[in-house]
Structure 1
Amino acid sequence: MFESPVIDERIKEIAPGFRAMSIHVDATNAGEGSLPTGLLTDACDYVLRGGPAWADAHLTSWADAYTRFGAKPNRTPCSSQALRKRVLKDGMIPSINPVVDLYNAVSLKYAIPVGGENYDAYAGRPLLTVADGREPFETVMNGEVVIEKPLPGEVIWRDDAGVTCRRWNWRQGTRTRLEAADGRMWFVLESLETMPEGALAEASDMLVEGLNTLMPDCLVFAQRIAV
């Protein structure tokens, strides 16, 4: 049983055009497949050729939203901007594992932040909210587990146990990190008003198609969410 994510009403003040696709996947009884060769490379090449057309406008909107809640987007950009910067600098991003490569390819091709989480590690339902500064965030520093705290007013994804992603979609925590294509998973594709509505649907379709290819017979549940 999957629980739908909850969006705090205060998010509307920070990003009134926020809308997203929430995708739950149950791969408990799925088969084992593989992604098309070159999927991530093709996405990087697309960025190097200047695609998509709305990329600059969409990522500027994300930078503006980050500024509204007190973040410095040049230092801690949204996840899609961070990926794009690496591609424009190095020409490529390294492969991590098939499921992460898939959602990174979607993020690059559609200039959209995409997160993938281990849903079985969640305590309660995902919540996009504004931090009070006391929520624990589990991460790793110099090979050691470290518990950080978000800044008061920072936009975070969290569950009942603490923060799962800091500064909206800037950095995922280790507790719910997705490391394998099995069990139950949750993906979220986050867009603002400067991304065409149809492009959000296309990005979602690309992710779902890839998940079905990677994990044949997995169960997929998609839902559009908005402020």
Structure 2
Amino acid sequence: MSHRLERPRIAHMEDLITHVREPNFAKTSLQTFICNNGDPAPGRRLDRVIEEIQIDEAVRRLRPDFTVLAICAYGLSNGPTDDRSREWLAAAAAQAVPTDHEKVEAWRAAYRAFGAKPQRTRPSVDALVRRMPLPEINLVVDAYNTVSVRHGLPIGGEDLRRYDGAARLIRAAGDEPSEEALGDPEIGEVVWRDDTGVTCRRWNWRQCVRTRITEETVDALFLLERLEPLSSDELAAAGDELSGLLAAITPEVRIESRLIG
């Protein structure tokens, strides 16, 4: 189903919930809405990325409750943090889940399950709620950080034009190519990777530089990760909010979503 959204006039996070009118992500596994004129890089089918995302069975066995809402946004006009995104960040900081919330603890438990020490390498949402005021990065990163701390779930953001092949969540063999700054993954560690190598270590702890969202990013992949007790309805609501913020940044953005779990 396709339709066009008007630019939401968002002054506060409460207004976002009122103005976002996308269909609920929990209702379908794959949807597309909003038109734009952005073209993918020559020779690449960026619209296939969302269809090819894979979760390895070893990860499913580790946490059968894991699901991920993948959102692809095409034709973004990103830029530096502005007064509008500062308002988003400030409102989200005031509403952020506490560090001892059961949603955050669920991720610590998941880290311990594959041998990581979450007090040393923290899940991304755990690290983020400890950084107050929230950091100002760029409009798009500010948007997904806003949603992450409000809902207590990790969100990863990737530059699609720098991604190589399918996004896969796996348990590492230990020999996967990885950037020097990331270090080598340990055997059994949960990592996101593409055909070039590791894109994020320890599930959502640290992202590589190669696929990071910058002010020049035009097409992006967002991975909203869920463990119980976060509900499917709240995951869908988080996706709705993120899509509303992206539409506020770029009214002509085209967005696809897929629920994987």
**Per the shorter chain, which TM-score range?**
0.7 to 0.9
State yes or no: 1:136 paired with 2:177: yes
Instruction: Select 1:121's aligned residue among 149, 159, 162.
Output: 162
Counterparts of 2:65 and 2:204 in 1: how far apart (Å)? Answer: 16
Name the TM-score, length of structure 2 as normaliser.
Answer: 0.76
8 Å contact from structure 1 (residues 138, 148) kept in 2: yes
* 1:145-224 correspondence runs (5 A): 148-180=183-215, 182-224=217-259
- The structure whose residues are more often strand, as a share, is 1
State yes or no: 1:17 paired with 2:58: no
Residue in 1 that maps onto 2:101 = 56
Instruction: Select 2:135's aligned residue among 94, 112, 119.
Output: 94
Please state how far the C-alpha of 1:37 moved relative to its aligned partner.
Answer: 5.1
Q: Which stretch of the first structure deviates more once superposed, 128-137 or 34-43?
A: 34-43
Q: Deviations over 1:34-88 (max 9, x none)?
A: 74551001000112xxx48x9711111111111111100111111001111223x
Please state how far the C-alpha of 1:215 moved relative to its aligned partner.
Answer: 1.3
Please state how far the C-alpha of 1:183 moved relative to its aligned partner.
Answer: 2.1
Please state how far the C-alpha of 1:148 moved relative to its aligned partner.
Answer: 2.5
**Equivalent position SS for 1:99:** helix
Please state how far the C-alpha of 1:31 moved relative to its aligned partner.
Answer: 9.3
Please state how far the C-alpha of 1:195 moved relative to its aligned partner.
Answer: 0.5
- The 3 A distance-change label for structure 1 pair 208 and 139 is farther
Counterparts of 2:135 and 2:246 in 1: how far apart (Å)? Answer: 20
State yes or no: 1:41 paired with 2:87: no
Counterparts of 1:187 and 1:9 in 2: how far apart (Å)? Answer: 21
Corresponding letter in the other structure for 2:72: H
Please state how far the C-alpha of 1:2 moved relative to its aligned partner.
Answer: 2.7
Percent of aligned pairs sharing the same letter: 38
Counterparts of 1:181 and 1:208 in 2: how far apart (Å)? Answer: 19
Moved over 3 A (4+): 34-37
8 Å contact from structure 2 (residues 78, 215) kept in 1: no
Task: For structure 2, list consecutive stretches of 5 or more residues without a partner in the other structure.
Answer: 1-46
**Equivalent position SS for 1:86:** coil
Counterparts of 2:259 and 2:201 in 1: how far apart (Å)? Answer: 22
Corresponding letter in the other structure for 1:118: D
Report the number of matched residues.
211
8 Å contact from structure 2 (residues 78, 218) kept in 1: no
Counterparts of 1:46 and 1:181 in 2: how far apart (Å)? Answer: 30
Task: For structure 1, list consecutive stretches of 5 or more residues without a partner in the other structure.
Answer: 141-146
**Equivalent position SS for 1:137:** coil
